Amino acid sequence: MIEFSLNGENVQTDIDPNTPLLWAVRDSFGLTGSKFGCGAGLCGACTMHVDGLAQRTCILPLSAVAGKRVTTIEALGSADNLHPLQQAWIDYSVPQCGYCQSGQLMSAAALLEQNPEPSLAQIDQAMSGNICRCGTYPRIKQAIMAAALSYDATTKEGA
């Protein structure tokens, strides 16, 4: 039995602890926003936050998140309460097929959490583990820069 926090809720499961977190979350908990692109940690489609850090969950065994906080795209924001990055993604028409975008957003959100004012080079570095076959990189970059401005303002207001 493995217990962890999934999007703020304590959950437990008795499936095989070697199962990658991606499949546990998608198939046992029914949250299908995180995607499968390579199964080898090479594309970032499966990115979730584990204790606030972006992780490739297709190669992360369930056992590794015991007692930890897991956050998926479903909890980043919702239609009526979008995360600044999600709003920027819409404003800059980032998604094409959209399949990679949950992972892109989770990587970007982890970046801003750590570094609310990233330089272009820092964005490149943080985002280069996420492949987009549709080629939305230029828009992702613009959207992160735009979100960083409002994100910064929000956090400062809150402070």
Partner 1 sequence: MRIKNLSRRRFLKTTAVVGGGLVVGFSIFGLSEDPLPVVTESDGFVPNAFLQFTADNRIIFYCPRDEMGQGVMTGLATVIGEELDVSPHTMEIVHCEVHSDYANPAMGIQATGGSTSINAHYRPLRQVGADTRALILAAAATDLNAGINELKTEDAQVLYNGQAYPYGRFIETARNLDPVTDTPLRSQADFRYIGQMSRRTDALAKVTGQADYGLDAKVEGMQYAVLVRSPVFGAKLLSFDDSAVANKPGVSAVVSISNGVAVVADSYWHARQAATALRVEWEATEHSSLTSEQHRSELTSALDSDDETTAIDEGDIQLGFADARAQIDGSYWTPFLAHAPMEPMNALVRLGANDAEIWLGIQSAQAAQNLVSRVSGIPTENIVVHNLFLGGGFGRRGVATHVVEATEIAMAVGTPIKLMWSREDDIQSGFYRPASIARVRAAVDGNGVITAWDVKRAGGDITPGTVKNLLPAIFPSLPSGLANGVASTVGFLFSNLSPDSSSVEGLHENYKFANVQVKNSSIDHGVPVTFWRSVGHSNNAFVAESAMDELAIAANIDPVDLRLKNTVDNPRLNNVIRIAGERMREMKLPEGHHLGFASHGSFLTDVAQVAEVSIEDGIIRVHKVLCVLDCGLAVNPDIVRTQMEGGIIFGLTAALYGEVSLEAGRVKQSNFHDYQMLRMSEAPDIEVIIVDSKTDPTGVGEPSVPPIAPAVANAVFRATGQRLRDLPLRLKG
Q: Which residues bind ligand FES (CB under 6 A)?
A: 36-39, 41-46, 56, 58, 95-101, 132-134, 136
- Look-up of token digits 């992702």: 140
Beta strands in 43-159 (DSSP E): 47-50, 53-56, 69-71
Please list every residue from 123 through 142 that binds partner 1, using CB under 8 A: 123-125, 127-141
**Amino acid (1-letter code) at residue 79:** A
Near partner 1 by CB under 8 A: residue from 53, 66, 97, 153: 97
Distance of CA 153 to the CA centre of its chain: 22
Distance of CA 132 to the CA centre of its chain: 14
The verdict on 27 binding partner 1 (CB under 8 A) reads yes
Of 3-11, 25-33, 109-117, 147-155, which segment contacts partner 1 by CB under 8 A?
Answer: 25-33
Kindly compute the dihedral angle of the four CA atoms of residues 69, 70, 76, 78, in this order, to the nearest 10 degrees: -100
Among partner 1, ligand FES, none, residue 46 binds (CB under 5-8 Å by kind):
ligand FES
Near partner 1 by CB under 8 A: residue from 47, 55, 71, 102: 102
Smallest CA-to-CA distance from 25 within 67, 58, 54, 68 is with 58
The residues that touch partner 1, with contacts defined as CB under 8 A, are 15-16, 19-20, 23, 26-27, 30-40, 42-43, 45, 72-74, 76-79, 82, 86, 89-91, 93-102, 105, 123-125, 127-141
